[in-house]
């Protein structure tokens, strides 16, 4: 299990003007947020076909909301872990640093990261199906079932990207630009199988970025990563910060 943090990796980070970090559910696993495809993953227990797509929501909005409220409760009860905190530290130490996250759990922002690109939305926000407004969670009234938009009365849905839906255009363009221009591209806690997010490491590699992966398991990125560390982000990222700060 390669967890050695090489001098080459630290040197690449020290010389980098711009670093981008793509994160997935794995970076939040040590906080207690379930991943999707791990042994205890959400998709082992729940079917994305029934819960994470628009048709399923229109068929049974109460069930979908019940599931998102279950996930919100988990997320509200956990804390960012040393992996999240390390990235917010790196943002202070590197001229241009961006977190591109597939996670909807808001934990990067709670850890202090400022430059966060949310590719799949944010579970703590809601969107009106009719007027498109974003409605903050704490105002939601579930007393009469599916919550309604306080402005137009339309049905509210969680502001996350479901399977088969387009990613938010602005976020996607920011992510592509970061992958096309960064010196170092970090791939942290993602199985790298869901596109278009999974295309970002390849784009960065092709333009000459130094690719660093951290994951207890091998992924499709492992083949072309310059450094692939087999371990947990919450354990390895703080060590990278320590070595970088020396």
Pick the piece of the chain touching ligand APR (CB under 6 A) from 4-12, 87-95, 148-156, 226-234: 226-234
CB of 165 to ligand APR, least distance (A): 10
Instruction: Name the residue with tokens 């947020």.
Output: 33
Q: Which residues pair with 136 in a beta bridge?
A: 125
Is residue 166 packed enough to be buried (19+ CB in 10 Å), middle (13-18) or exposed (0-12)?
exposed
Pick the piece of the chain touching ligand APR (CB under 6 A) from 108-116, 179-187, 205-213, 228-236: 228-236
The 157-196 site mask, x for binding ligand APR (CB under 6 A), equals --------------------------------xxx--x--
Q: Decide if residue 233 touches ligand APR (CB under 6 A).
A: yes
Q: Decide if residue 38 touches ligand APR (CB under 6 A).
A: yes
Q: Decide if residue 25 touches ligand APR (CB under 6 A).
A: yes
Count of all residues that appear for the chain in the document: 246
The set of residues, in sequence order, having a beta carbon less than 8 Å from that of 35 and lying 6+ positions away, is 24, 25, 26, 28, 29, 41, 42, 189
User: What is the spatial order of strands in the sheet that 156-160 belongs to?
Assistant: 134-136, 121-128, 156-160
Size of the site for ligand APR (CB under 6 A): 24
CA–CA distance, 174 with 180 (Å, rounded to integer): 10
Q: Decide if residue 214 touches ligand APR (CB under 6 A).
A: yes
Instruction: Name the residue with tokens 């999240």.
Output: 84
Residue ranges binding ligand APR (CB under 6 A): 24-26, 29-30, 35-38, 41, 102, 120, 189-191, 194, 214-217, 219, 232-234
Could you list the active site residues? 120
């Amino acid at each position: 299990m390669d967890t050695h943090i090489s001098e080459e990796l630290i040197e690449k980070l020290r010389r980098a003007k711009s670093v981008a970090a793509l994160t997935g559910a794995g970076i939040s696993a040590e906080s207690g947020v379930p991943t999707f495809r791990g042994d205890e993953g959400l998709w082992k227990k729940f079917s994305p076909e029934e819960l994470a797509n628009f048709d399923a929501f229109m068929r049974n909005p109460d069930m979908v909301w019940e599931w998102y409220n279950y996930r919100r409760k988990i997320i509200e009860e956990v804390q960012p872990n040393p992996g999240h905190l390390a990235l917010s530290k790196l943002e202070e130490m590197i001229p241009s640093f961006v977190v591109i996250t597939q996670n909807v759990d808001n934990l990067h922002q709670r850890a202090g990261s400022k430059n966060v690109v949310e590719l799949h939305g944010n579970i703590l926000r809601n969107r009106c199906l009719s007027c498109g407004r974003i409605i903050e969670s704490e105002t939601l009234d579930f007393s009469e079932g599916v919550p309604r938009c306080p402005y137009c009365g339309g049905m509210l849905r969680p502001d996350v990207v479901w399977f088969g839906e387009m990613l938010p255009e602005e976020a996607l363009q920011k992510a592509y630009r970061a992958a096309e221009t960064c010196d170092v591209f970090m791939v942290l806690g993602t199985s790298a199988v869901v596109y278009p997010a999974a295309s970002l490491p390849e784009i960065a590699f092709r333009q000459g970025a130094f690719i660093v992966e951290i994951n207890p398991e091998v992924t499709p990125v492992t083949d072309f990563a310059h450094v692939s560390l087999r371990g947990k982000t919450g354990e390895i990222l703080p060590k990278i910060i320590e070595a970088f700060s020396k």
